[in-house]
Structure 1
């Protein structure tokens, strides 16, 4: 039995779909079972459990053989680092004592130790904690999610602008969540390894100018990429509803991404979905 945490998100849903397509037994862990009806129709089991209910989560995990761990992102209005460390501690406590064959953990490019750098340090801590346990671990570090641009559809459509903290010509590896889920399914089904670090990104690196061009093509209107000056980053995050600690950590992550190029030690696994295809599908879906 495959246990999937974060089963109703972009990645978890794609992972569940890929496993169910191969007739694999799947249990989806979610706080809202109503969001899993499509997967239930395809044979998935559902465990309606809050990740902070350690005892209940432990009972679900101990009935599985392989586990996909995705630490849920905290609401930006909170102290995201503190909240994500709290959920991570709950997950680690729930996993303790479970006799699993394998764990696959969702991490990110640039994961590293440090203070005040948001997900980069939280996910690094997750990697280290799971690797120290007795269960064979595969870590999937994913590039920048193309879905991070979903919120830009509104400004692209209404203003002809895509706002970004990065210069319009700054390229970075990106990947569609569907491709992350597809590769996660491959890791879930692969033989256990004592420890494996795997990277996944899309067909190419892209810039915010490329994002603007993709929206322009999909919307059939001019769209330009506009950079938010670094001095305004923190205020820009605050205006989007981020708490002060969250805004500061996101600024730090943005600076690290811009100033320190992350190079995978091994060649990355490449997904098939291009940025253009992703944006076109997004526009079509939101226009339906």
Structure 2
């Protein structure tokens, strides 16, 4: 049985579909089952802060997919991350899980103040002493992050960005990522620890705006948010001061070119282009 934490997210939902469509048993672990798009799959309700609920959700599983929390309303996202990961470990040990596949990110090998990337580093380091098969998946920036600006793009013809408009960074499709993870979860290996660093093609915010312009048949311009306005902007859309600082730290790490592969010659390039991904999402 493949246990999926974060089953309603961009990666988790696609991962469940991929496993199910290929005939593999899958169970979704969610806090709110109503948010699941597929109501036919086996589901367990669990709060990641509740060790007992998480242990119950993991029972009968052989492989588990875990990730760090995404909670803009947290007042201490790093401490929350540590608590959740400790619960993962206890649930894994209590239920005899044989393999853990952890969603990390490119740059997790760096010991630095990197915000959300630091959360991935904490995840990798904390799972290291588990005496089971461990696989760390380190993808680059998701195409899907740009869809959060769709309403602003459609209404005002403006793409806000925290990056310099010409800064090109590695980006990939969460659907490609889910397909890759499904293969890793259901495959076999004699190695007790593996790291996969996944890249795509490099795009700038200007490239993204131009892709939206073509697909929506309207002019879309880039509006770079200055660094001294990052925190204020994030708080205005529901982030706490703590999570705004954390995301700002990650943004600066990207700009400073810290979020790069540990082993650049061994990366795996995911195939889907930005425009192809956006075209499918906009025409659902």
* TM-score, normalised by the number of residues in structure 1: 0.90
2:277 paired with 1:278: yes
Q: Where do 4+ consecutive residues of structure 1 move more than 6 Å?
A: none
Give the deviation of 1:162 after TM superposition.
Answer: 0.7
Q: Partner residue of 1:229? A: 226
2:167 paired with 1:170: yes
Count residues in correspondence: 281
Q: Partner residue of 2:35? A: 35
Q: Partner residue of 1:48? A: 45
Q: Aligned to 1:72, which of 69, 72, 75?
A: 69
2:212 paired with 1:215: yes
Give the whole-Å Cα distance in 2 for the aligned partners of 1:241 and 1:115. 26
Give the alignment of 1:73-152 within 5 angstroms: 73-76=70-73, 78-112=75-109, 114=111, 117-152=114-149
Give the whole-Å Cα distance in 2 for the aligned partners of 1:124 and 1:92. 15
55-64 vs 261-270, which moves further: 261-270
**Preserved CA contact (<8 Å) 1:10 1:177:** yes
Q: Partner residue of 1:268? A: 267
Give the whole-Å Cα distance in 2 for the aligned partners of 1:196 and 1:129. 15
Q: Once the two structures are superposed, what CA deviation does each residue of 1:234-286 show, in whole Å capped at 9, x if it has no partner?
A: 2222222221122222211111111124134043222232111222223223x
**Preserved CA contact (<8 Å) 1:214 1:280:** no
Q: Partner residue of 1:243? A: 240
SS in 2 for 1:237: helix
Q: Partner residue of 1:255? A: 252
Give the deviation of 1:113 after TM superposition.
Answer: 5.7
220-229 vs 55-64, which moves further: 55-64
Q: Aligned to 2:197, which of 194, 199, 214?
A: 199
Q: Partner residue of 1:189? A: 186
SS in 1 for 2:35: helix
**Preserved CA contact (<8 Å) 1:81 1:246:** no
Q: Partner residue of 1:160? A: 157
Instruction: List gaps (5 residues or longer) in structure 2.
Output: none
**Preserved CA contact (<8 Å) 2:68 2:119:** no
SS in 1 for 2:251: helix
Structure 2 CA distance for partners of 1:39 and 1:138, relative to 1, 3 Å:
farther
Q: CA RMSD in A?
A: 1.9
Give the whole-Å Cα distance in 1 for the aligned partners of 2:51 and 2:203. 40
Q: Once the two structures are superposed, what CA deviation does each residue of 1:44-76 show, in whole Å capped at 9, x if it has no partner?
A: 311122222211211332311111112331234
